[in-house]
Amino acid sequence: MTTRRRIAPEELDGLDLADPKLHAEADLTDVWRHLREHEPVRWNPATGTAPGFWVVSRHADVTSVYRDSARFTSQGGNVLETLLAGGDSAAGRMLAITDGPRHADLRKVLLRAFSPKALAPIVDSVRRTVDRLLRQALERGGCDFAADVAAGIPLGAICDLLGVPDRDRDHVLSLTSSALGSEHADATAADAWIAKNEILLYFADLARERRGTGHSDVISLLTTSQVDGALLDDDEIMLNCYSLILGGDETARLSMIGAVLALLEHPDQWRAFKAGDAGLDRAVEEILRWTTPALHSGRTATSDTEIAGRPVRAGDIVTVWNASANRDERIFDAPDALDLNRSPNKHLTFAYGPHFCLGAFLARAEIAAVLSGLRELVTELERTGPVRPIYSNFLNGLSGLPLALR
């Protein structure tokens, strides 16, 4: 089993939920349960130069904030890192941090590339990739599942969509892994800033190369599409590619790694899944709920309002915690139990409302391919070394998972 120190609710006053080390090294199960029951909207005080922010933990309140982009806007930023730093310079230009009619128009453009029909060849390629990587791991007798299997699946798919050349893909993966988190507790904000800027510069160059070339990838789609009656400029294309590469890689990859750890730690569920007693579609949804790779999402209150009776002022930072909402006893029976046959399963891993994840269909297909491959090809799983957590207040998961496979 993985061992993380279980934090008691009595320690709440000394916790800063913006601390990456807290999420990587501590188990907050009891804290979240306490907050949902007694303080579902809590103020996380300012620390140093960083302002305070609201912490929303109940499923119903989280969905309410997600649904209402008029009262709670994404345009100040949608993660703690940028919100605490004063906002995101890409607001109004990148889909994830744009609201209103422009968001709807830009989303409509991108949905053309993310429809099930458009993604069919990508999904076929994902299945072949999963089969190849698992067979290679079986031939070797073991692997680091995070590095040797999971790393090559969602990144390959999103790079196919964006038309990233094969020669650049390892480099792009290393940058995405550093941009929103790190496997090192002492990683600095400067490290993440450098990685983000390198991703932006890479896609700026690619966008310039693709204009007018007739390629059929997403970058070329963006270069020829109009929003508000005007073509997107190079910066807008670069920013949306950045958003797609991070969102398209991290969520599915961390869920895949977390899925294997969950099966290792719950052998009864692994046996039931192998025997066909748990259906694939339900198993995918439960893995998404269980792993919750995006811990939170952030918004800014646009006016004086309230959440669950707590007054919220215009300009306040509001964070909604998927990690808590996905374990809410009011929505899920036995929420702290892994149940691959769970139904219904109203998890919020892909958010909710106007900003529901654009790549949800692809992520589900990728996780399904991995689970299918494990069921068909693998008889036994055994952990052969310590796991390595990601240090992030946004991403939840592992950067290393050494395994023996038979």
Question: Which uninterrupted H or E stretch holds 350?
Answer: none
Average pLDDT along the chain: 92
Cis, bond preceding 344 (omega within 30 deg of 0): yes
Give the pLDDT confidence score for residue 348 in this predicted structure.
98
Cα–Cα distance measured from residue 21 to residue 14, given in angstroms and rounded to the nearest whole number? 14
pLDDT tens-place string over residues 190-215 = 777 787 788 888 887 877 777 766 66
**Which one has a higher pLDDT value, 263 or 89?**
263
**Residue with token string 């889909």:** 95
Q: Tell me: pLDDT of 2 over 70.
A: no
Characterize the bridge pairing of strands 317-321 and 53-56. parallel
CB-based contacts of 207: which residues, under 8 Å, 6+ apart? 219, 222, 223, 234, 237, 238, 241
Read off the pLDDT of residues 282-339 as tens digits, 9 standing for 90 and up.
999 999 999 999 999 999 999 999 999 999 999 999 999 999 999 999 999 999 999 9
Q: Quick check: helix, strand or coil at residue 27?
A: strand
pLDDT of residue 212: 65
pTM, full prediction: 0.93
Q: What superfamily does domain 5-379 belong to in CATH? A: Cytochrome P450 (1.10.630.10)
**CA–CA distance, 58 with 192 (Å, rounded to integer):** 30
Question: 206 and 213 in contact (C-beta within 8 Å)?
Answer: no
* Strand (E) or helix (H) holding 399: strand 398-400
Q: What is the pLDDT of residues 243-265, one digit of tens each?
A: 887 788 888 999 999 999 999 99
Q: Say whether pLDDT at 27 is over 80.
A: yes
Segment 54-60 mean pLDDT? 98
Residues in contact with 164: Cβ distance below 8 Å, sequence separation at least 6, in sequence order? 172, 206
Quote the pLDDT of residue 174: 78
Place of tokens 């269909």: 361
139-196 pLDDT tens trace: 999 999 999 999 889 988 988 888 888 888 888 777 776 765 556 666 666 777 787 7
Domains of the chain: which residue ranges?
5-379
Residue 1 has pLDDT above 50, yes or no: no
- pLDDT bin (cut points 50, 70, 90) of residue 41 is very high
10 Å CB burial of residue 340 (0-12, 13-18, 19+) is buried
C-alpha dist (Å) from residue 64 to 41, 59, 90, 183, 357? 13, 9, 25, 33, 16
Residue with tokens 């007018």: 212
Per-residue pLDDT of 222-245, as tens digits, reads 888 889 889 998 888 888 888 887
CB atoms within 10 A of CB 94: 24
Closest CA to 250 of 142, 137, 355, 392: 392
Report residue 229 as tokens: 């009656």
| Chain position carrying tokens 């290679």 | 136
Distance CA 123, CA 88 (A): 33
Please answer whether residues 153 and 122 qualify as being in contact, where contact means their C-beta atoms are separated by less than 8 angstroms.
no
